[in-house]
Amino acid sequence: MLSEKCKEHGLYLFVDGARLGAALASEACDIDPAALAKLLDVFYIGGTKNGALIGEAIVIVNPVLQDHFRYNLRQRGGLLAKGRAVSIQFLELFRDDLYFEIARHANALAKQLAAGIRECGYQTFVEAPTNQVFPIFPNTVVEQLQQNYGFHVWEKFDEQSSVVRLVTSWATEENAVSEFLIILRACAQ
């Protein structure tokens, strides 16, 4: 296990948690937040990609790294003057399981989107169990979709096709997925 190897070699283990909510709420995830924290030295809990207006919550599990953290953060200009306002968001997000409810919503819509894309006859580059979908579209379809949607062209698949990255979020509504699939079907004709 990666965590054991890091400890064995005196290395710190950090997880970028920008999409931590989607990962932990995924049907493919077999670890809970408390167990994850025991494996890591530092991680952060993504806020903005899971419903917060601003901010990420840094969790320093390793006591050695906790010493003088606030001082170092302030010294390097990273401490917000009104940081309490950011913290309130996390208190609300973790009340009554809202953080994970929001993430499950995004994951469910991504699953629905992926199924609809397959029904349109397209394959996915990789099966992602979270809120991201990586379909392979003909370049002509990519160009047509880009007229209505902003998305990232992940990589070229072959001369005629590209892998794109589609992401659902806490704010994605089911009708947005349906509308995208209607436009996708129209592009394919």
pLDDT digits over 174-184, tens only? 999 999 999 99
pLDDT band at 83 (very low <50, low <70, confident <90, very high): confident
* CA dist., res. 166 & res. 132, Å (int): 6
Judge whether 99 lies within some domain.
no
Question: Are both 116 and 76 inside the same structural domain?
Answer: no
Question: Are both 28 and 57 inside the same structural domain?
Answer: yes
Question: Are both 178 and 135 inside the same structural domain?
Answer: yes
pLDDT over 90 at 189, yes or no: no
Question: Are both 88 and 108 inside the same structural domain?
Answer: no
Question: Are both 83 and 141 inside the same structural domain?
Answer: no
pLDDT band at 68 (very low <50, low <70, confident <90, very high): confident
Does the predicted model carry a pTM greater than 0.85? yes
- Least Cα distance to 136 among 116, 119, 156, 151 occurs for 156
Judge whether 98 lies within some domain.
no
Judge whether 181 lies within some domain.
yes
pLDDT band at 71 (very low <50, low <70, confident <90, very high): confident
Both tokens assigned to 171 = 């704010």
Question: Are both 116 and 53 inside the same structural domain?
Answer: no
If one counts every other C-beta atom within 10 angstroms of the C-beta of residue 95, the result is: 9
Both tokens assigned to 9 = 């070699």
Q: Which domain holds residue 151?
A: 104-188
For the chain, the domain total comes to 2
Question: Are both 53 and 132 inside the same structural domain?
Answer: no
CATH code at 141?
Answer: 3.90.1150.10
Counts of helices then strands in the chain (DSSP H, E): 9, 7
pLDDT at 175: 97
Residue range 143-165: average pLDDT?
95
